[in-house]
Structure 1
Amino acid sequence: MRIGELAATTGASVRSLRYYEEQQLICSRRTDGGHRVFAADTTPRVAMIRCLIDAGVPTRDIGAMLPCVHSGTTTPTTLSLLTAAHARLSAEIDERLATRDRLEAIIAGVRDNTCTTATTPA
């Protein structure tokens, strides 16, 4: 299938598909006219790539995970990469929650007319 068909089938943008190919997460062959043609089994692969990206896994790590995901065999590398992605996401959430807490304190101060000085995080 051509790139536009793959985009329509998977919901991924054409630009994203080109990026996945550039990152060697998917591959295509070229027609004589230079158009990309993807195998039918690329569709579930793109779905898995999108799932991993949505879960916060960097594309640089996805390539190492895909063979394990498709074979159903867990490796220490896959588990380590997923655990690292989880830790990064948890740290980001903690930072965002702290930012929200600071903003809530500022809002309360403004609401009560007690906000006279700005505080910066430690």
Structure 2
Amino acid sequence: MLIGELAGKAGTTIKALRYYEQEGLLHPRRAPNGYREYDEAAVAQVGTIKALLSLGLTANDLRAFLPCLGEGIPEGPICPDSARVIARKLTVVEEKIAALEVLRGRLIDVLAS
């Protein structure tokens, strides 16, 4: 399928697909006329990319997931590289939550006084 068809099936934009390719997350074949050609597996792959990006991971982070992007987000054990990326992101989120809890406490104190 061509890039426009993939964008429609995957619920994304052509610009996003080009970005995923630029970042090394998608690898379309090229037709003799230079058009990008994708197989049906690319729909699932783009869905996985979108899901991982929605978790706050970056395109750079997703490179650790490249071996399994076409298979969806695994429900079981994940590879060590992917686990390190997720653990690092979790640490960042926990630090932000802690900082927000401190701020919340200060705001409560201000309102109480």
> TM-score scaled by structure 2?
0.76
Listed one character per residue, the Cα deviations across residues 70-113 of structure 1 (whole Å, up to 9, x for unaligned) are: 3955222211111111222333344456566767888x5xxxxx
Calculate the aligned-residue CA RMSD, in Å. Answer: 2.6
The higher-RCO structure (CA 8 Å, 6+ apart) is 2
1:34, distance to aligned residue in structure 2 (A): 1.8
1:88 maps onto 2:92 in alignment: yes
Highest Rg: 1 or 2?
Answer: 1
Q: What percent of counterpart residues are identical?
A: 29
> TM-score scaled by structure 1?
0.71
3-state SS, counterpart of residue 18 of structure 1: helix
Equivalent in the alignment of 1:15: 15
Where does structure 1 lack aligned partners over 5 or more consecutive residues?
109-122
Summarize the Cα distance change of 1:36–1:102 in structure 2 as closer, same or farther, 3 Å threshold: farther
Where does structure 2 lack aligned partners over 5 or more consecutive residues?
none
> For the Cα contact (< 8 Å) 1:56–1:89, is it kept in 2?
no
Report the AA paired with residue 27 of structure 2. C
Listed one character per residue, the Cα deviations across residues 19-41 of structure 1 (whole Å, up to 9, x for unaligned) are: 10011111112222221111111
Equivalent pairs, count: 109
